[in-house]
Chains A and B, each alone.
Chain A
Amino acid sequence: MVRSDLVVVEDLRKYFPIRAGLFKAKGAFVHAVDGVSLTIKRGETFGLAGESGCGKSTFARLLLRLIEPTGGKVLFDGVDIFSLSKKELKKVRKRMGIVFQDPKSSLNPRMTIYNILKRPLEIHGIGSSKEEKLNMVLEILEKVGLGEEHLNRYPHELSGGQQQRVSIARAIITKPDFVALDEPTSALDISVQAQILNLLVKLQREFKLTYLFITHNLMVMQYVSDRVGIMYLGKVVEVLNTREELNMGKVYHPYTAFLMLSTPAVDIRERGRNKIIVPGEVPSPINPPPGCRFHPRCPFAKEECRRKEPPVMEIRKGHYVACHFPSITEEKLTPYVEERMESIRKLWRGES
């Protein structure tokens, strides 16, 4: 049976204790991921957006079980990865890959590119001979746009873009089903970013990959994802379809709206128009505010928002919002977002 939901996350939590020296935490925890439930469908690119401290990086690491959860489940193709033994987990690792943000420190500076790419094959027993492994490495190098000449080089001899390609090659050489990408293009120049995004899209189609794409850059998010989850302080506040909803500005959570409106617009004609800016600081995930996490910064917060955590509503098919009063956003913010997205759409269509 081929499940259409490849990854199912149920109430996932990760709290990091804050330790005062050798003594146990005085009850203070970093609520990095605080009850996240979502599904990632096979073959899609699920984007995860949010600012620093929202927990998206921790979330990615939980999905690959690089860290242990405080609570909740992650079902990968129907199996709870947190219940697996070390041996079984290793087998699952073959079907998952991860690409990190900083290309330079993602690669062992003392290993050649060949060795870096060969290791996953050796660990999982793929390829029966040395020649076969070499061929697989060469094949994957070619697929990511590199060549034989890079085999015996060291990471520091490569540019940032090339290093990221190697990182991607390493993640997919075992032909996984799922790849988590944690800010894969944030450290790259615009032109290199374009190359890598194109590459990722191409690879997804060719190898039938499912992506979790994490980024704080909303422009990239709008381009590359099929669906998006917006995170704030360890919780997911909105999940929506990218093309039909996010890119059209049909957002229902005030934080999502503010994120969209705060992003500097590449559209030169937007300049000078109403600048709607969300006040306050990005809060710390230590001791989050009660009720709705966003209420201290939300200009529309009401008493209920301070007291009760908002329920998750399916406001349209497949579109979820965690807010007590999404209609306020719809009335006061969404029109601006729609207008801006419309303007941006006109812009790039005009140019292409």
Chain B
Amino acid sequence: MWKLTWRRFRKNKLAMTGLVILCIIIAIAILAPVIAPYSPVEQHLEDRLQPPSSKYLFGTDELGRDILSRVLYGTQIALRVGVLVALISAAIGVTLGLISGYYGGIVDEVIMRIVDIVWSFPSLILALAIVSILGPGLINAMVAIALTMWASYARIVRGETLSVREELYIEAARAIGESDIRILFSYILPNVMSSILVLITYNIPSAIIVAASLSFLGLGAQPPTPDWGLMLSTARTYLTIAPWYSIFPGVAIMITVLAFNFIGDGLRDAIQPERVS
């Protein structure tokens, strides 16, 4: 049944472009040690703040490090952050959404009120607050972002669970003696998976941007990590004399985010209810 979705997805040029770009990004992440001309932390103090040249294709930063190599290695960090955060927040949010939608009653009320509270804060502010409690660092930043993102999963999954719950095959499952946990994860979850997948594809770039923002503010990745956000932050100081320093990491972020967004749009359009013949 995913075959039909794939066929529709393939027809969408924008979505396929996004997919191709993502594949390239993943390839870069895997092959970074091979294709990067320099180590991302290797300093060439004699070549500080050099503009792009044949020796340093993207130029160098204030410590003489090759920006190209840092951007290439940065893909690893961006992907890791995006995917891990999305998966963790999905795990939390989906579980709570399933429980909320299936059991209803007071459990539902409590969970939904927590969702409302989390959702009422702009994610960046909330992430900032959490990070300031946990302390700066990439891992802490990831935890903080995950804690802001789970709410959207919970909401969507709860809504879908409410309708799937009424389906006859759920009743049939209870009739043959399935346990509640089994019903939640083997019967309901697979049937709400499509929305979750679309949400994940949108959340990965969101996570990347928020992580970049936190790094930009000095609360995320710490030097000398080749994190794009951190690079942007440092580049700020040298904006007038070394504009290339901010351009390349910025473009990298933009392309990555766009790629995921195109895929997300394409996926959302391609997934249609299987029951419509």
Answer yes or no: A and B touching, Cβ < 8 Å: yes
Contacts A/B (CB < 8 Å), 19 sampled: A61-B171, A64-B175, A93-B177, A97-B175, A100-B172, A105-B167, A105-B168, A106-B169, A107-B169, A108-B173, A108-B190, A109-B169, A109-B191, A109-B275, A120-B177, A123-B178, A124-B177, A154-B1, A167-B172
Which residue in A123, A156, A174 is a CB contact (below 8 Å) of B1?
A156
Answer whether residue B56 sits at the interface, using C-beta atoms and an 8 A cutoff: no
Given A104-B275, A156-B1, A156-B274, A110 and B191 touching (CB < 8 A)? yes
Besides A102-B168, A109-B169, 4 new A-B residue pairs in contact (Cβ under 8 A), listed by A number: A66-B175, A90-B177, A106-B172, A109-B1
What is the chain B residue whose CB lies nearest that of A90? B177
Residue ranges of B at the interface with A (Cβ–Cβ < 8 Å): 1, 167-169, 171-178, 186-187, 190-191, 193, 274-275
Which residue in B167, B176, B186, B274 is a CB contact (below 8 Å) of A120?
B176
Answer whether residue A345 sits at the interface, using C-beta atoms and an 8 A cutoff: no
Given A104-B275, A109-B274, A93 and B169 touching (CB < 8 A)? no
Q: Interface on chain B toward A: helix, strand, loop, or mixed SS? A: helix
Which residue in B168, B171, B176 is a CB contact (below 8 Å) of A123?
B176
What is the chain B residue whose CB lies nearest that of A155? B169
Within 8 Å CB of A108, what residues of B?
169, 173, 187, 190-191
Interface size of A as a range: 20 to 34
Docked-complex contact B177 and A105, CB < 8 angstroms: no
Within 8 Å CB of A156, what residues of B?
1, 274-275
- List residues of A (83-119) whose CB comes within 8 Å of B's CBs: 90, 93-94, 96-98, 100-102, 104-111, 119
- List residues of A (53-91) whose CB comes within 8 Å of B's CBs: 61, 64, 66, 90
Docked-complex contact B274 and A94, CB < 8 angstroms: no
CA distance A86 to B190 in the complex (A): 26
Within 8 Å CB of B175, what residues of A?
64, 66, 93, 96-98
Within 8 Å CB of B169, what residues of A?
105-109
Answer whether residue A42 sits at the interface, using C-beta atoms and an 8 A cutoff: no
Within 8 Å CB of B174, what residues of A?
66
Report the minimum CB–CB distance from A86 to chain B (whole Å).
9
CA distance A102 to B177 in the complex (A): 20
Report the minimum CB–CB distance from B42 to chain A (whole Å).
50
What is the chain A residue whose CB lies nearest that of B178? A123
Answer whether residue A170 sits at the interface, using C-beta atoms and an 8 A cutoff: yes
Within 8 Å CB of B171, what residues of A?
61, 66, 100
CA distance A100 to B172 in the complex (A): 8
Docked-complex contact A106 and B274, CB < 8 angstroms: no
What is the chain A residue whose CB lies nearest that of B170? A108
Docked-complex contact B172 and A123, CB < 8 angstroms: no
Report the minimum CB–CB distance from A342 to chain B (whole Å).
39
The list of the 7 closest CB pairs from A to B, nearest first, reads A110-B190, A93-B177, A105-B168, A120-B176, A106-B168, A108-B169, A123-B177
CA distance A157 to B79 in the complex (A): 38
CA distance A154 to B190 in the complex (A): 13
Within 8 Å CB of A90, what residues of B?
177
Within 8 Å CB of B275, what residues of A?
104, 109, 156
CA distance A186 to B226 in the complex (A): 65
CA distance A108 to B168 in the complex (A): 9
Within 8 Å CB of B173, what residues of A?
108, 119
CA distance A156 to B191 in the complex (A): 14
Which residue in A96, A102, A107, A119 is a CB contact (below 8 Å) of B178?
A119
Interface centre among B172, B173, B186, B191 (most CB of A within 10 A): B172
Interface centre among B1, B168, B174, B274 (most CB of A within 10 A): B168
Which residue in A109, A110, A170, A174 is a CB contact (below 8 Å) of B172?
A170
Report the minimum CB–CB distance from B225 to chain A (whole Å).
41
Report the minimum CB–CB distance from A167 to chain B (whole Å).
8
